[in-house]
Structure 1
């Protein structure tokens, strides 16, 4: 082993030890979809809101237990609640609500008139006598029910606080649990809070087990939460990565054993292992983590990483010197073409690092480091390890192309050109995830039961809380006739309106004719006057203080808080009339939180940027190739992969596959693969048969690994695999035809 090989081996050992240490301390594998996404270009406020909503989504799981018989639903919920509180999966599980009546009554006193609905406020200003008539009717009704007695709430403000609660969810006093009625069943509500944000596949096992238990005990179990989808994504990605890499390796080395007929060919697995090791280490070192989707894509490099060893080893089947095949001597022959291909490909990956999308940047670093690692292992280790390899001579069949082949190529070219006109270029974040159907069904059912089916969210920004409440009211007024909307102003009045209302109470205290209906019930006039004066002198209630009340649960999630010196809140919109564009109704400093549209725009920008960066790398490649081979030969080397690229796009058009960011990345990768094949075909000092075999084996192994990606359940990964597999086929065809028609010799300088 040479001195360079020993140094490289020590480096690999050090890298392996460091990487193992990273996995021991914490798993650097990330599965959250948001980790793949670019940082929002929006303001600090919008970024904070997105993080706020993400935390709400991923930190808890909403659970519903339903049955035709309400007692069965409550009993099942109570039994499961006790078990879940001690199963170690959750930080806590909430189900029982034993309200502190003293606290509830105190909060009703504190809120007072601050939460009065708009209709009652209008009555107090325009027709106060009607307000007191209605108050007297409620007071005279023995079944009206209230936490506060008549003597504690002469003016009747507390009844309106209770009316603001979500009326589809009720509290069962006997069982002390929340429940809802839906489709003839009673659904009991529970909430589980998670220990951390890390995806936990054990959640899926828990979910599946609870489904079976519910079915055997004749009740229904529904669970909804982002953590379940994250756990499924992690499990699916790990399963796909292991299966695809395992099948890819098996097929690849079965092929190599069949072709080379020597067990020593298994040493070609070494560059693969070294490549994956270096790629994984580089990604973790640069980013601190690596996403599971990057691993799935990275494992598809199995075929690409074996290209260098195959280009080196394939000529052994056709070139047998008298003293036997010499691995070191053969490496000297192909090393220059290796270096050219490696430089061009790695430069292309490095340029992709400057795109704003984390998944592309991770893949660029992983791929570049993997190629460098595999190249180093091929050059340093394989000549020594394969020293005793004895090749078995092979003869390729003598294939002659019929003159009619030109007609076939002409028809194919016309069809491919027409296919290019049928292509559809678009990005959609929904292609990045394969949402499990049964988990999605649970989420949809939970939304229907709770009637929390808001389809859009609006961010509202005010200089202070009162401005935020005014913005909320303005938005509500604009959308009242076209959508259902939940806003903060439906909960509490701005301070200035509370002050104005207190002045009105002071005026009403001097107008006994208005509260005469209560006096008619036997309530002393002085008592009502005292209550009105007390309301007039009561302190105002701020938005943040009001949301601390137990009765504010339905509105608490709408207030994000103070961000960058501004008050930020949300409005949830649902049941939009067909054809309504919410953006047309937004007041100033209100923004539609349309993350999907924003991401799609960023993906399109990234896709275009990646294309331009690749164009730049091709210009660099052209300059390098012209400097080495001359302008004619260098241009032909680039022309062949470009033709293969256009053919691939044509087939994608016929397949009606949308060309998004991942497909674009696949097309860029096919260009790099094509340049590698072309450089080898035009520069390697081997016979035509040896070059055909080298390109053919490389194409088959690469096609196997990327073809397996076409079976992925994730649409974006599937499309990526299809695009690269097609590109490899067309690159192989273009290079093989070039060798057959002796183009390398024709353009030899």
Structure 2
């Protein structure tokens, strides 16, 4: 390679200058980042490109999550009503004293309900439910019975019999309220079933539900309330059930913090012991940590400055760079340690003989990660940026500052103690194993390896399950299912998105879809129910039809209103006044200013009702039909394509299924880019060595990747996106081991010791992640646990080929510090 002809001292000085310039530039960027504010994004959807989803669906989902994100449900459950009531009082007092929580009415005489009653009353002559229409056309007996009951004070709460003789308004208002199967007890919803007595509290979180501080405060508060109920003998048998994004986020955060503590402490203790055994002092550990911290810090600042934010997944994946970046430090420190321990030439730069290999190692890793820039996925591009900058800056720190930091130490230390014999025995063991293995034994090993690949290919399966990101505890899932079973609330993850050219066309589209497609599915039990704006605000066409139906069947000369009022004892004058009110409202036909329009409804609608009407979006009018109790997803998914007509569109949105599709796409793109990275590295190796034998170096990470994935498949593990992410680290680590093994050959003990220390460091950094209870972290950790071991196992294979060019990279004579 051309750069080996440049004097090492010159390169070393220039690298020190470059390191200083980079540091000053990063500090300047840090000032801008702090001035604008650090933003860490946790929304997984931000990892994916916006054009992968229908833009209207993306907007609808954002609006739904704004509404539901800061909502929560709490409930007390007890075997007896009295105990449930007392527990509810304790919980209500606790909520009242918590400034982060505010109770919202589940049902009752809320301001919105009163305003809705007034609005519907003004337009009631043109509003009918589907059941009321059917009764008016076929058999009005149930309506007459309902009017009779209201006349005597039963099922009332409607208008005066003089304004609404058949008492139709309460029925219309009833369909607009949440579907709650229970009774009100002190303005709280109480539901009784075979599992006990349940009293519910609907809450809004006063703050950002995904804020760690808010989560910690709410979780601490909830623990105290539960303990308070357990300590009270009158409520000891009660329990608190919860549902909401804040509880899932709090649980995930607690789980992550707990694992970070356990795994972090274990990794730190292991690294401390390892460096003490290998170097007999703490300074090498401090320098290694410093180089990695410098690289990660620079990567964070530059990536945040470029993207105006940094994603949590970028930090998780980027922080794993320690496994690759620490290799640069270990090779330098092992060479420095060996030079002093053997009494070698102290004036000779440590980088002499290392520079070319370290440069090639950096370039191969950077090229591997740069392939991620080819993806159209913002998440991968941000990860690539973080990885490249982190690796480059860690490498620059080692090459530019280590010579300065260790120069004075080299003059003080006349000699250094040799590593503990166990370190060298472990480090050299794999090379000795391959040296002692006969040709016939290697053939049998190759046959076994082919068998593993074949069995792995036969067992190979892929999973795009969104639960790889986060799996809630069984207790929280049981609580969620219990409350959803009771409330039958609208799911924010599954809904229909409709669009049309005007509000009137959109309402008509909703009605056609509801009556022609959704109602039959409700009757079949495929879905429990639905909610839509057209339930409250019929289209003008439907309002005109309902007005005509009431004119002909209710308020005509011999209509049902006259019949009922005569039977109820009303005089002719009262009957005439009632009929006159109907005709004065709009005459024989509705006038434009008498329509009930969406804008008027939105002013009195509850928040959950307002979010169903998205309004004008991109020259179309858009609305949502929310679903309750989805039982047959396939039946619902097939409706959209059959129901859409002309310019009107109906889109089925299933956030779980959409996320799985996006994960599958991301996995495919990542796998293809991984293959591209191998191809680019092969080209680089040819350019660097100009010898076909040098291409054997790429065999190590390639064999390791195939072996790792095969073993995981044989063990019954479904391959996910995070296994593929782990393969990128396998490529980076494997190329590092290959390069130094190829250059050093079978007798370079310094490189072999550095490779072994890198393996153990990586195992301590990544291997413990395989113990995580978070599926994505566990997948990443297990992949790298196997990958590090197999990389080490295969690394000596490339040492059997020694091109003449390696003489430029080695000291004269053999490096043997045993």
Q: Could you tell me the TM-score, scaled by structure 2's length?
A: 0.82
Q: 1:594 to 1:735 in 2, by over 3 A?
A: same
Q: Of residues 176, 183, 192 in structure 1, which corresponds to 2:187?
A: 176
Q: Quick check: 1:663–1:719 contact (8 Å CA) kept in 2?
A: yes
Q: 1:193 to 1:242 in 2, by over 3 A?
A: same
Structure 1 unaligned segments of length 5 or more: list them: none
* Residue of structure 2 in register with 1:373 after alignment: 393
1:593 match: secondary structure: strand
* Residue of structure 2 in register with 1:516 after alignment: 563
Q: Of residues 680, 694, 711 in structure 2, which corresponds to 1:634?
A: 694
Whole-angstrom distance in 2 between the partners of 1:327 and 1:197: 60
Q: Quick check: 1:479–1:585 contact (8 Å CA) kept in 2?
A: no
Whole-angstrom distance in 2 between the partners of 1:79 and 1:150: 44
Whole-angstrom distance in 2 between the partners of 1:459 and 1:579: 15
* Residue of structure 1 in register with 2:356 after alignment: 336
* Residue of structure 1 in register with 2:199 after alignment: 187
* Residue of structure 1 in register with 2:8 after alignment: none
Report the CA distance between 1:114 and its aligned residue: 4.5
* Residue of structure 2 in register with 1:565 after alignment: 619
Structure 1 stretch displaced more, 425-434 or 564-573:
564-573
Report the CA distance between 1:272 and its aligned residue: 1.7
Report the CA distance between 1:342 and its aligned residue: 0.8
1:148-167 pair list within 5 angstroms: 148-164=159-175, 165-167=177-179
Q: 1:434 to 1:510 in 2, by over 3 A?
A: closer
Alpha-carbon deviations, 1:246-304, whole Å to 9, x = none? 43343223212201223332322221221221222233223333333433333333232
1:215-364 pair list within 5 angstroms: 215-217=230-232, 218=235, 219-241=238-260, 243-266=262-285, 267-316=287-336, 324=344, 326=346, 329-364=349-384
Whole-angstrom distance in 2 between the partners of 1:83 and 1:108: 38
* Residue of structure 2 in register with 1:450 after alignment: 487
Whole-angstrom distance in 1 between the partners of 2:335 and 2:14: 27
Q: Quick check: 1:352–1:613 contact (8 Å CA) kept in 2?
A: yes
* Residue of structure 2 in register with 1:496 after alignment: 541
Q: 1:621 to 1:167 in 2, by over 3 A?
A: closer
Whole-angstrom distance in 1 between the partners of 2:14 and 2:798: 40
* Residue of structure 1 in register with 2:497 after alignment: 459
1:571-586 pair list within 5 angstroms: 571-574=625-628, 580-586=634-640
* Residue of structure 2 in register with 1:212 after alignment: 227
2:67 is the alignment partner of 1:56: yes
Structure 2 unaligned segments of length 5 or more: list them: 1-11, 587-593, 808-818
Whole-angstrom distance in 2 between the partners of 1:158 and 1:327: 97
Whole-angstrom distance in 1 between the partners of 2:331 and 2:221: 50
2:554 is the alignment partner of 1:534: no
Alpha-carbon deviations, 1:73-97, whole Å to 9, x = none? 456545544543443324x433596
Alpha-carbon deviations, 1:6-63, whole Å to 9, x = none? 6634743664686488569755333344444443523321111111121122122222
Alpha-carbon deviations, 1:567-619, whole Å to 9, x = none? 33333445556685322233112222122222222222222222332333333
Whole-angstrom distance in 2 between the partners of 1:440 and 1:746: 64
2:475 is the alignment partner of 1:421: no
Report the CA distance between 1:447 and its aligned residue: 0.7
* Residue of structure 2 in register with 1:199 after alignment: 211
Whole-angstrom distance in 2 between the partners of 1:213 and 1:635: 68
Whole-angstrom distance in 1 between the partners of 2:91 and 2:543: 45
* Residue of structure 2 in register with 1:652 after alignment: 712
Q: Quick check: 2:743–2:806 contact (8 Å CA) kept in 1?
A: no
Q: Quick check: 2:242–2:480 contact (8 Å CA) kept in 1?
A: yes
* Residue of structure 2 in register with 1:112 after alignment: 124
Q: Quick check: 2:259–2:772 contact (8 Å CA) kept in 1?
A: yes
Report the CA distance between 1:747 and its aligned residue: 9.3
Whole-angstrom distance in 2 between the partners of 1:72 and 1:544: 45
Q: Quick check: 2:67–2:607 contact (8 Å CA) kept in 1?
A: no
Whole-angstrom distance in 2 between the partners of 1:641 and 1:554: 53
Whole-angstrom distance in 1 between the partners of 2:347 and 2:120: 87
Whole-angstrom distance in 1 between the partners of 2:794 and 2:203: 60
Q: Quick check: 1:456–1:574 contact (8 Å CA) kept in 2?
A: no
Q: Quick check: 2:463–2:719 contact (8 Å CA) kept in 1?
A: yes
Q: 1:351 to 1:193 in 2, by over 3 A?
A: same
* Residue of structure 2 in register with 1:479 after alignment: 521
* Residue of structure 2 in register with 1:145 after alignment: 156
Q: Quick check: 1:422–1:654 contact (8 Å CA) kept in 2?
A: yes
Q: What is the root-mean-square deviation in Å for CA atoms of aligned residues?
A: 3.4
1:181 match: secondary structure: strand
Q: Quick check: 1:456–1:573 contact (8 Å CA) kept in 2?
A: yes
Whole-angstrom distance in 1 between the partners of 2:739 and 2:727: 18
Q: Quick check: 1:297–1:717 contact (8 Å CA) kept in 2?
A: no
Report the CA distance between 1:634 and its aligned residue: 2.8
1:689-708 pair list within 5 angstroms: 689-708=749-768
- In the alignment of these two chains, the number of paired residues is 743
Q: Quick check: 1:460–1:472 contact (8 Å CA) kept in 2?
A: no
* Residue of structure 1 in register with 2:812 after alignment: none
* Residue of structure 2 in register with 1:436 after alignment: 473
Whole-angstrom distance in 2 between the partners of 1:57 and 1:249: 41
* Residue of structure 1 in register with 2:6 after alignment: none
Q: Quick check: 1:457–1:570 contact (8 Å CA) kept in 2?
A: yes
